[in-house]
Each structure stands twice: as structure tokens, then as C-alpha cells.
Structure 1
């Protein structure tokens, strides 16, 4: 199961997505109301689920002065659905950024549109009788407001992890990639009998792709792979190894491989500006490429959608061969150093893995494979189709998740 999911060329990962549109753009943990919590490092294991995830934009990265609005449309008929499908194929040229589109009737479709496109597109919606609402009137203003609120927030309003020397790692904010790697290195040095760092490769911009292994053993054990940061945004979850029996069992019986940021270059690029063109960058930062006959004077574009670069039904549906598209699958399977590093690391340990999970943000969905076509399932689908998962998420977080097969 792990390797089948690993080779996913479209969107066939299990997906945990729990943020609303406003929370997605927040620089801090949404809804954090608890007082500061300290986890002492002298006798603890920090079981890390680093989940810093990114939502990007498939543009070359040039900042433009324009107002962007997020609207939500709901297709109620087959003709409306076909129109929205057609819009996805010309999204780059019409400056439309699809945040969410399942391709099913009566399911909401979220689109970010610049002010030059907004009037014409909403007129088309009215002409086709597509109902829509404005979710965020000004995306850039919301991003800026969230950053200001972060700067004003008092230290006691979020969660901190105490480190040696009186330092604290803030669990309620998004850190730079260097800070994330620094925290993993601290975990390795603090718990050398339980944690180990692996540098599995390097990005286009020569950043190390670092992975944290939790649970060391002289003999093979069942392994869990957890990655994030292809498209999405989450935060870390600390647990107390010495005092929590369930956590101790998970560490003693299983080996965890946690890759907190699959896409370090894209993550750092998205932190550089409040502009939605930068802040919402989606792909990695591979060198610019283009399809000359189709560009017609348009600039060539950076980046590959890493989630569509794996060699499982690569180039089928739900992807694009246009380098300027947000879902550009790359020139060939595993063309990118990030996906190649993951393949190399996991295939060298292929017999160990019993589960492969990836986390995204936005849309509130728990999804199971496959996504390259409808009515196609993995052999262990009976194990994956467990609605108890959605119920457990609701009991813990009071968040309603959809449970569904991935859409092609």
C-alpha cells in the first residue's frame, strides 16, 4: 500500500485537510485559545508531526498590483459543471486560481480572481445561472491583517516547547525552513537513542531535504511515512514519551519517517511577500520552462506540481503539460529532485512501510486512493474506507470532514 501510494502521479495520497479559507492564510494556529504550554525536554520524547504545508500559485513569481477576490460557486447542472471544467483549462490565461474543485455536482468550487477578471467572470456565472458568493473580498488585505495580528499577539496566547538554554519553539506559528530544520536537529541531539535526521536530497536551490526518523531499532519494524508541505499547511503536535503510554507504544513498536516540508524552495518563496502571487505559490521552484507554440508572447513559467510528478499514471487526468499551469506534472515522472529523493529513500526501505500519509490543508476532506480515474481502488480499500476516522476528527477538533474517494 505504501509504495502504491508513493508512486501516485495525480492526487492519490490520503489527505487530511482541516483549514478554512481564512485559516489557510493565517500565520498562526487558528483558534488557539489555550494558555502557554511548556513541554520539558530533559526526559521527554517529542513525537513530531511536522506539518507545515503550502498553498501556492502557478505563476513565475512576479508581483503585480491587483486586488484578488475569492469566490465560491456551486454547479447544479451538468452544463454548469462542464463550464467550470473548461475554465480550469484556461485558468492561467484568465488569471483564475482554483483553490478547490472536486468536479462533482452540488459541491462548492473556490476560485481566486483578480479585479480585471472578476466582473467578466461573474457576468458569465450569472448568464449560466451559476450561484456564487464572495468568500474573501480582498485576499492580500486578509494576508496582511493576519500578519499584523501575529505581531500583536502575546506570548501566552499560543503553545511553546521548552528547549535547552531557556529557548522556546513556538508551535503556534509558521517558521522558516531553517528554523524547522534546526528544531529537528535539536530533537536528534536531545534524543539520540530515539531520533535521527536523514538528508535525502537537495532542491533546485540547493536546500537540503531533511527528514526526521523517530524510533531506532537494530531490526526492521513496521514503518509509517508522513509528509507535508507539497501544497498545504499544518502545525506540529508534541507528545510526552515518558508519561503517555500510547505514544510510548507507537515509538517502541513502529518507526516513523516524518518529512515536514517536501517543497522547501516553494515554501521559502511563499514567505517572501504578502502578494497573493507569491504568498499562494503552489509548485516548486524548478527553472522556467515553456511550450513555445502555446505561449504567444506570454512569459515562460517556473515550477512543477510535485504531487503530480510521481510515476503512477503520470500524465493521465487531473494534471497538465503546460508549464504555466498550477497542475503542471513536469517533463517526465520524477523529473524533480524532491520527488526523486522521496522515491530513492522509500524504495530502499520498501519492505518496511505499512502506511503512507500526506497532509494538505483546505477543503476539510479525508481522501483515499485512487485519483487517476473514477471507480479505481487500491486492494486494501476496505481498510481505508473507515468512516470512524472522520468521526474521530470531529470528536477531537469539532471539525466536519468529508469522506470521499479522490477525484481525478
Structure 2
């Protein structure tokens, strides 16, 4: 019996290693659009990311702002031809994403954080991504008696904490070191209408209407069980809530949700911008 169990374990390990193995290298390219034509080309590429299975780590926003795209080896030549045709130069930010993931996991760095340090680097300097840099969010408990500010936060406010808004999507992203799996953004509900087994939904500004896209926004607002759960929870407690904060693993942004109408902002928008800029350019973590 012991021998059978041992053989089963060996078989399971072999099975897992075979089916988690990735057959291509994924590289992250950095592009900086300089003209309106180049920017429009990148925006069109973003909205049709499913055609080449591209993954935009930093999406196109304006001229002079970097755009980072993860590209698989199988479509690399086609991708580079498109860049050349549009006069776009590039630098390589990450040569092999899966190799970097494995190195970070070996060091047991647990949280995925993309550090965009482009403002302090030359455009030709590849820099580096701390995509698995450890970042602890348990200070509210561990520093309660040490940090006076945290003591006040805990004593004066009631905290409602949702540790994971997308449990099945997150669990799937941990199932392999394949960058296409590790960078999964959507849930895992079954859908029809594209070439993938699961065409699932997420919600995000700058999203796509195509079901096969990495950033498909869903059929309607609150079409998914995950977003419905958040909506219902907020409705129940809306009279008690003074602030709503989300922590994102991919990029370090300070965002506030007032983008659905042009020129419409909250009364304290200047305070929000000042707070954002203070943390952006200060030495505070």
C-alpha cells in the first residue's frame, strides 16, 4: 500500500509538471508613442489584444507616456513588424516573464506589484519589474500599539474588509507560472462566443467589448455574481460608509471613481489630487 501511495505521488507531480509547462517565452516590451498616429495604433492594438493574445501591462493613454506589452514568442515577429510599420521603437523590460515569476516565487515574495519607475529612468534603460515584491497589508493589526495613526484609524472607524473580490479568477491565476495564466484578470464563469474555453467577465475602465479580450468588461454593469455581491453589500451599508478603498496588485495608483461624465468631480477633488501627489513624490510608503 505504501508503494502504491508513493507511486501515485510521483505520478501526480509528473502530471502537474507536464501540464503546467509553458511552450513559449513571454517578453515585455516598452513603447513610447510620440505622434497621434502612433497613439491611435496602440489604442487599436489594445482593443484588439485578443488577435495576437497581447497583455497590456500599461495601456496607452497619451503621447510621451510609456506603454508596456507582454508578447508571446509565437506572435513576436508579427508584433515587431507592426511596430516597424508604425515607426515605433522599443526597449525590452522583461526578457522572460515566466523565469522572473519563478525566481520571485523561489524567494517567497508573495504579492504581485508592478512598480512603474519610468519617471526617474532614461527611456533606453530597461529598469526592472518588482512583480512579486512582498508587500504586507496587515499593519492595522501588527502595529496597533506602535503606530499612533493606525491606533486612531482602528479606534475611530469601522472597517469592512473584502479580502478577495474575484476568488475563482485569483485561484486560477495561481495554478501555473504561465504568464497568460498568472496575469488572468477576469472571473471563471463559462461564456460562449470566442475561441477560448472560458470567456469570462471583469470590470475595468479602459476595458473591451470583446469577450476574448483580457479586459472584457462583461455584458452589462453588475452582470457578474462578484460585482453583484459588492453592489449589494455597499447598498446595505451605504449610510455607514465614508470612504471606499481598493488595493490593486498590478500597479500603484491612487484612483477615485469620478470618470463617467466629462468635467464632473467631487467637491473635494483638489484635496484628493493633493493627497495623491504628496504620496507620489514623497518618501512615504
Question: Fold match, TM over 0.5?
Answer: yes
Check the 8 A contact 1:75/1:107 in 2, yes or no. yes
Q: Measured at CA, do residues 80 and 351 of structure 1 come closer, stay the same or move farther in structure 2, by a change above 3 Å?
A: same
**2:241 paired residue number:** 353
Deviations 1:106-154 (A, max 9, x none): 100010111122122222212322121111111111112222233xxxx
2:132 pairs with 1:245: no
Secondary structure at the counterpart of residue 368 of structure 1:
coil
Residue 395 of structure 1 aligns to a residue whose secondary structure is: coil
Q: Residue 191 of structure 1 aligns with which residue?
A: none
Distance 1:351 1:116, change over 3 A: same
Instruction: Tell me, yes or no, if structure 1 residue 120 matches structure 2 residue 78.
Output: yes
**Cα RMSD, aligned residues only:** 2.6
TM-score under structure 2 length normalisation? 0.76
Which structure is higher in helix share? Answer: 2
- Who is 1:147 aligned against? 105
Spell out, residue by residue over 1:281-323, the C-alpha distance to the aligned partner (whole angstroms, 9 max, x if none): 1111111332xxxx4xx33533211x34xxxxxxxx7232322
TM-score by length of 1: 0.54
Label 1:245 to 1:144 Cα distance change in 2 as closer, same or farther (>3 A). closer
Q: Relative contact order: is structure 1 or structure 2 higher (C-alpha 8 Å, sep ≥ 6)?
A: 1
Show the 5 A alignment for 1:21-40.
Answer: none
User: Structure 1 residue 332: deviation in Å?
Assistant: 2.2
Return 5+ residue gaps in structure 1 as ranges: 1-61, 151-171, 176-232, 309-316, 398-408
Cα 1:318–1:100, aligned 2, differ >3 Å: closer, same or farther? Answer: same
Structure 1 residue 67 corresponds to structure 2 residue 20: no
C-alpha distance in 1 between matches for 2:21 and 2:209: 24
Q: Is the 8 A contact 1:63 1:278 kept in 2?
A: no
CA contact (8 A) 2:39 2:62 kept: yes
Shift in Å, 1:102:
4.1
Q: What is the aligned partner in structure 2 of residue 235 from structure 1?
A: 136
Work out which of the residue numbers 137, 145, 164 in structure 1 matches 2:95.
Answer: 137
CA distance in 1: counterparts of 2:68 and 2:21, whole angstroms: 22
What is the CA–CA distance in structure 2 between the aligned matches of 1:278 and 1:104, rounded to whole Å? 29
**Counterpart position of 1:272:** 175
For residue 173 of structure 1, the aligned residue among 106, 110, 119 is 110
Task: State the Cα deviation string for residues 357-407 of structure 1 (Å, max 9, x = none).
Answer: 112234443233333465442343233222x4433453223xxxxxxxxxx
**What is the number of residues matched between the two proteins?**
243
Instruction: Please state whether the residue corresponding to 2:206 is helix, strand or coil.
Output: coil
Gaps of 5+ in 2: 1-19, 113-133
Contact 2:189 2:198 in 1 (8 A): no
**CA 1:372–1:125 in structure 2 vs 1: closer, same or farther (change >3 Å)?**
farther
